[in-house]
Chain A
């Protein structure tokens, strides 16, 4: 549990050291820096989170790129199973996450529980899309000629994800799941103010058969990490959900250098059922032609 033991008792609790999640491992920041994370309402100290550096971001991109071939090449069925497994593992730690969300977002226990449950269900929702999206957004094209012509969606590659600032778990899952379900790999910058649910989620991901490097989780200063990611030539797309308007505009400009696919921030309502947009934003459409003739 992340909250320090406040009630007096015979036993002092064991506090967890929160770490980054890169390439399937849990390193500290190469910079050696940490920053203080506090309870949303009381301002009480919760933990020292790693203050990741641009070099951590660089390492995370390398890990994400390395994982891309295997993850995008896995069957859709396999990816769906793994996303569902994430939901199963998260369900098993439901209480822990509800407590972390409550202190991160300053919510009542009941509200935090509801958001945690919604986050679990969101993994389930996206898990089901893995082997259906191609049937909904792809298909045969009746071209005028003796050709077989088929369009299928394919993942775009490595996606940098700036997690929403305020919704520490539901918001995070709502931006992360649609990126990876289709076969992309992700470098996630967690909410600066509320990074602990994200860093704990990494522990869930690490025990859900998700190959290392598919999701890389960084905590730290959003702008400091986002700038090198937006400019990185080996990043294919960026989700700006966690950037304010000014930063988003700057990052979008930097992203133009290698024509990253950019998803602009779009409000902060994570309760509604998502549509397909967050998935299709990070997909390429590939069309294959083949002659027909005996």
Chain B
């Protein structure tokens, strides 16, 4: 390949907009404190393996302190007029907007995802979620949970590393609006934005104990969901851990919602708007390096248009810019952790071993950090591991179909049921397929769209309960 005529010069977003302290404590009862046992762990920038900060490791004693603080705050918080709770949430939404660039840079550093995404997707959605649920706080009687619904109590919330602050917003905003108090455990590899959120709570004047952040690992999360004094558990993450949590809460009074893995089918018919379908496929699997539970990781393409579509897709992938996540022109950033990179690598190798054809556009990956080139597998069948297991990385498996029924059968042939996409110019076909697909979110002629007003969640082993919209409120309210 010749050198490009129009090669973009580096356009890095300034790091100086965010100041990361060398260490952070746990945020319990309105203040930062060291872990009871004094343990800490490091958080890295996955794009460079640079240590960003040292974070307190919360154990059972810390979780207990946090739950006690949340319990103590619950009475006043839930009894407060909804209009006043609303105003706290509006304040938080506004402060998130004001500090959006700082948080975007922070998230990009800690997670490895491109600044373009944190700036244009994550942060606007975080603010929007707080705005949306702020408005519900004084309208709970209209939420469909009876005329006088009640908060559940203390909510234990465990969130993943793929959209750290956005997942926090999805959990914290409806919980607080409904009058619950929360203990939130961010993911081990991406704790920083939650800790910055603690500072936003301080700026908003949120009463102490209403939001508590306990950083740590899986064991910390297990202590939290197992704590006898929590009333509600909300988890987003892998299906395997979701099942463990379901077993843990079995036999208790705890309410549970789970938002787990997926193996979304993106179904392209021959009459699709092809250029836009290509964009949707690219956005569906390469957005956030494919580390998205609702990713369109299986492309089901009608055989009659397969060749044309794959040519267009490969041509388009040639323009993806992989590299420094802080560069404003980067489309695909770093994989979040060495562990995740190993899993993606392992599954991609299994794909090759099982006989699927592997293809990646030419792209130079940085020497430091965790990177995986955008990858497409063709000749994939339903029996291949890469068609069945969630890879959670920038790897697309391409399968074909001949008729709408076959497309539906293949799309539904998975234990998961989170998302699906349909690409066709024919409206009635969209609606027929949408009816037949066993998935919680069906996008037609678009993909990976999110909005605080729109419920999100899965069928089958993709979990239960919905986040977003009026439905998202139900997860935090008792009918009365």
Contacts and interface: CB of A to CB of B under 8 A. Distances in A.
Interface of A: 76-77, 80-81, 84, 121, 124-125, 127-132, 135-136, 148, 276, 290-294
13 contacts: A80-B135, A125-B139, A127-B135, A128-B135, A128-B138, A128-B139, A131-B453, A132-B453, A136-B142, A290-B428, A292-B431, A294-B405, A294-B432
B106 interface: no
A291 B453 contact: no
B142 A132 contact: yes
A80 B131 contact: yes
A123 to B, nearest CB: 11
Contacts of B452: 131
B460 interface: no
A291 B435 CA distance: 12
A129 B404 contact: no
Contacts of B137: 128
Interface string B382-418: 0000000000000000000000110000000000000
Interface in B123-170: 128, 131-132, 134-139, 142
B139 A294 contact: no
A151 to B, nearest CB: 16
Secondary structure type dominating chain A contacts? helix
Contacts of A77: 128, 131-132, 453
Interface string B417-431: 000000000011101
Nearest to A84: B90
A89 to B, nearest CB: 13
Contacts of A291: 427-428, 431
B470 interface: yes
Interface of B: 83, 86-87, 90, 128, 131-132, 134-139, 142, 404-405, 427-429, 431-433, 435, 452-453, 469-470
Contacts of B136: 128, 132
Contacts of B87: 124
Given A290-B427, A294-B404, A135 B470 contact: yes
Contacts of A130: 135
A44 to B, nearest CB: 36
A80 B93 CA distance: 13
Contact of A128 (B86, B404, B429, B432): B86
Nearest to B404: A294
Given A77-B128, A124-B83, A124-B87, A294 B135 contact: no
Nearest to B469: A135
Nearest to B177: A128
B432 A132 contact: no
A131 B132 CA distance: 7
A129 B86 CA distance: 12
B429 A132 contact: no
A222 B274 CA distance: 59
Given A80-B131, A125-B83, A128-B135, 11 more contacts: A77-B128, A84-B90, A124-B83, A125-B138, A132-B135, A135-B453, A136-B142, A291-B431, A292-B432, A294-B428, A294-B429
Contacts of B142: 132, 136, 276
A293 B436 CA distance: 11
A106 to B, nearest CB: 27
B422 to A, nearest CB: 10
Secondary structure type dominating chain B contacts? helix
B402 to A, nearest CB: 13
B441 to A, nearest CB: 16
Nearest to B90: A84
A290 B431 contact: yes
B424 to A, nearest CB: 9
B456 to A, nearest CB: 14
Contacts of A294: 404-405, 428-429, 432-433
B408 to A, nearest CB: 9
A76 B142 CA distance: 18
A90 to B, nearest CB: 13
Given A128-B136, A132-B470, A293 B429 contact: yes
Contacts of B427: 290-291
Nearest to A76: B453
Contacts of A76: 453
A30 to B, nearest CB: 40
A286 B181 CA distance: 39
A292 B136 CA distance: 34
Contacts of A292: 428, 431-432, 435
Contacts of A276: 142
A129 B128 contact: no
A127 B86 CA distance: 11
A18 B288 CA distance: 54
A294 B427 CA distance: 9
Given A148-B431, A290-B431, A294-B428, A121 B135 contact: no
Contacts of B135: 80, 127-132
Contacts of B83: 121, 124-125
Contact of A293 (B90, B132, B428, B469): B428
B428 A81 contact: no
B131 A81 contact: yes
A76 B451 CA distance: 12
A130 B128 CA distance: 13
A269 to B, nearest CB: 18
A131 B142 CA distance: 13
Nearest to A132: B135
A72 B248 CA distance: 49
Contacts of B429: 293-294
A125 B435 CA distance: 36
